[in-house]
Amino acid sequence: MKQRLLCIVALCLLISCGKYNDKPPGPNDPDPAPSAHPRIKSINGNTYAYDSLGRLIRSYYSNSLTARTEYSYTRDSVIGRDFDLQDHPISSATIFYLRNDGLAAHEKYIIDASTAPIVLSFKFNGDRQLIEQTAGEEGKAPTNHTIYYYSKGDLDSSKTFSLNNNTLLQSEHYEYYTDRPNLLSNESNGVAFIGAGSANLLKKEVQVNAGATSIIEYTYEFDAQKRPVKRHMIVDGAPWADLTYTWF
């Protein structure tokens, strides 16, 4: 069970920096600097603010005990500190330790004082895409190892193994809309330090976990600038939650 939990937590930490929220940014929050790559303003209720370099500095949430996360940057780290609904700092936090090229070498996720932090280590290819990840509790040997495979700029598949017995815990295979560039990347959310995304927009995932297979299909709606403004998800043939995007 702990192996699966670590796998799920690691995936969630990399895929999303936010929880759901409907509180807008404050009037003094800066817009991102002009860039060839757009910045996401909101995802459903999540709202985001960026600094003059286009880096994520604030995420607002709702439907959560955490109201927002504030991100601060140094030459070799990114620290995300959480605040509750009364604007008090809380114990959960995320720390990314950066390499000289600005990519994250390690990540520490602090849940609370009673739980050991989860530590992730990363390796990237020459295109700044994540190719390996290990995960485990701080002070102990890592327990999970994920390998990511790429083809023509897109993440083709991934496999997660238990390092305790080399058992395959989960595998995933991905398909893409090859005529649609991927604007829903880490860079669009101001977190390029966790790696470059796939070149094209995600179309389909096939997940195999403990022998059970799940098929997730994605369709999108676009605005006049060809940016995704809504994502529809079908899980094993049944409609799932939609995501709505707005842009700066």
- What pLDDT, on the 0 to 100 scale, is given for residue 11? 41
> At 2, phi and psi to the nearest 5?
-65, -35
What is the average pLDDT value for the chain, to the nearest integer?
88
User: What's the rounded mean pLDDT across residues 105-125?
Assistant: 95
Provide the whole-model pTM: 0.85
Domains, the chain, ranges and CATH? 2-247 (2.40.160.190)
- pLDDT over threshold 80, residue 156: yes
Lowest mean pLDDT across 46-55, 62-71, 132-141, 156-165: 62-71
